[in-house]
Structure 1
Amino acid sequence: MPTPAITLLPKQRRPLDVAQWTPPLDVDALERILAAFRNWDPLDWDAILEDLADVLGQEAPEHEELVGLADRLHSTLIRLLSIASAGHADEKDQEAVVLIERARTLDTEDFPDDRWKALGYVRRLGWTINELMERLSRTGHIDAVS
């Protein structure tokens, strides 16, 4: 069987006009991202679960403990809101929308001076965090928390 003839295309006489590639981020933006990665601290699920147990348990924490618990829980709440926002959970899941709105409302509230109001505030933080963690776990935004 004869081999088919191969036809060569003529060589181009000039280079193609192609725009030079530029990176999507400049050096400053890349340095900010690198610094964020270096400063990133993963969520400590064990510590979060301990705080939730302290807040939601049958024994009410002492008033002096409430301020520290509120600070830690508020920090956890903000981080979970960031995870939900980055994963567009508020666009995909109606239950997540309700929890995110509740979390944002709690985020705007000030820590009460009254002991019982402070305990109620910290417990609302705890329940919201617990439910938001569970929802984000079910929807695949975070790994299952055990």
Structure 2
Amino acid sequence: MASATVSELARAVRVWTPPLDPEALETVLTKVRGWQPFDGESLLDDVIPAVEDLDDHDLRLRAHLMQLAVIAAATEARQRDPETERLIRWACQLRAEAMPSGHLQAVGYLRQMAWSVNELHERLGAIKFLREAA
């Protein structure tokens, strides 16, 4: 088996060319330098309501859940769609619980309530039982 010389290998290898021209590379570099990574800690700081706002959030979310449950019952979405039934059971379970007294525990509870409101709202819209979400 003959070994190839360096000059033979150099001729066999194609010359690399950059995928972008210098201006495009400069644009990419500028964007990379300006990129800010997602900061989940600051997000949590922004979405934790103050202690004095917890009761108001609780009352509003409970009212939203009740409205959506009534809409689901009135339109028979609950009986026709198993996913809607599951979401309503989850919402009713959450509504039956008292909001925890600790600040972070209360925030966690309110997030679960908000998530259930969102999921039920989206589901009713997806199955065309709620016009606003459709």
Global fold match (TM > 0.5): yes
> Who is 2:110 aligned against?
122
Question: Where in structure 2 are there 5+ consecutive unaligned residues?
Answer: 1-42
Q: Could you say which residue in structure 2 is the equivalent of 1:48?
A: none
- Is 1:80 the counterpart of 2:68? The answer is yes
2:84 is the counterpart of 1:100: no
Identify the residue that residue 63 of structure 1 maps to in structure 2: 51
The yes-or-no answer on 1:134 pairing with 2:122 is yes
Paired positions, count? 90
Write 1 or 2 for the structure with the bigger share of helix. 2
Q: How far apart, CA to CA, are the structure 2 residues paired with 1:62 and 1:121?
A: 14
User: One-letter code of the match for 1:98?
Assistant: R
Partner secondary structure for residue 112 of structure 1: coil
RCO higher in 1 or 2 (8 Å CA, sep ≥ 6)? 1
2:71 counterpart SS class: helix
Give 3-state SS (helix, strand or coil) of 1:144's partner. Answer: helix
TM-score, with structure 1 as normaliser: 0.58
Query: Deviation above 3 Å: which 4+ runs of structure 1?
Result: none
Distance 1:92 1:107 in 2: 23
C-alpha contact (below 8 Å) 1:138/1:144 kept by paired residues: no
Residue 90 of structure 1: aligned partner:
78
The structure with the largest alpha-carbon Rg is 2
Unaligned runs of 5+ in 1: 1-56
Match of 2:17 in 1: none
Matched letter for residue 90 of structure 2:
R
User: How high is the sequence identity, in percent, across the aligned residues?
Assistant: 33
Q: Report deviation, 1:144.
A: 3.2
Q: Residue in 1 aligned with 2:99?
A: 111
Say which SS state the counterpart of residue 131 (structure 1) adopts.
Answer: helix
